[in-house]
Chains A and B, each alone.
Chain A
Amino acid sequence: DAKTTQPPSMDCAEGRAANLPCNHSTISGNEYVYWYRQIHSQGPQYIIHGLKNNETNEMASLIITEDRKSSTLILPHATLRDTAVYYCIVRVAYGDSSYKLIFGSGTRLLVRP
């Protein structure tokens, strides 16, 4: 299973962009990168996912390097409500098309007023 490495904690100022890095150097060609976040003790919330190309949605942007060994989640204008633990996950796929999301320890993002 491809492993991910994230910094344990980061902080940024409210209104500024938050750039959260993730290393996944052993990722396979057909494995996706997913990002989830967990606010306080709520259930994890889906943010975005991608395979090769950069992706953007209403919540964030995902930048994946050309060699796919790392990625960056960008929250363009962080707010206090974005304070959460952010998980970078490589989706493990199996022969029957089933898959598992395996969570690591994530990055604790603190958005400062």
Chain B
Amino acid sequence: DAGVIQSPRHEVTEMGQEVTLRCKPISGHDYLFWYRQTMMRGLELLIYFNNNVPIDDSGMPEDRFSAKMPNASFSTLKIQPSEPRDSAVYFCASSPRAGGRVHFGPGTRLTVT
């Protein structure tokens, strides 16, 4: 099992550019989560999906952020336009069912200059 796969691992972009983060959950997992981690705010849940359907996006900071899950094996988190305050490590995670263990990916370190 390859675990949760995220790409890219590092992203450096300029303010105003569009950024797309990608995630492949563990096969067979029904739940997918996007988290963001910064020194100031710690680990924050942005959005999560159940069977490809967004269940709770109350953590998405603003309209510049959007997430999709077109199928069970792929999800994207897009930021458009990006701002320096979006610099953070973004984690994708998945779990097989409600209450199951949540498995985290290695994260994408985003730097917006």
Contacts and interface: CB of A to CB of B under 8 A. Distances in A.
Interface stretch (B13-21, B60-68, B71-79, B97-105): B97-105
Contact of A98 (B31, B42, B104): B31
Interface residues of A, number: 23
Nearest to B55: A98
Contacts of A102: 45
A55 B48 CA distance: 28
A52 to B, nearest CB: 15
Interface in A59-113: 87, 91, 93, 96-106
A21 interface: no
Interface in A23-44: 32, 36, 41-44
A9 interface: no
Decide if the interface of chain B is mainly helix, strand, loop or mixed.
strand
Contacts of B101: 46, 49
Decide if the interface of chain A is mainly helix, strand, loop or mixed.
loop
Contacts of A54: none
B60 to A, nearest CB: 14
A101 B45 contact: yes
Interface of B: 4, 31, 33, 35, 42-45, 48, 50, 55-56, 89, 91, 93, 98-99, 101-107, 109
Interface of A: 32, 36, 41-46, 49, 87, 91, 93, 96-106
5 contacts: A36-B102, A43-B91, A44-B104, A49-B101, A96-B55
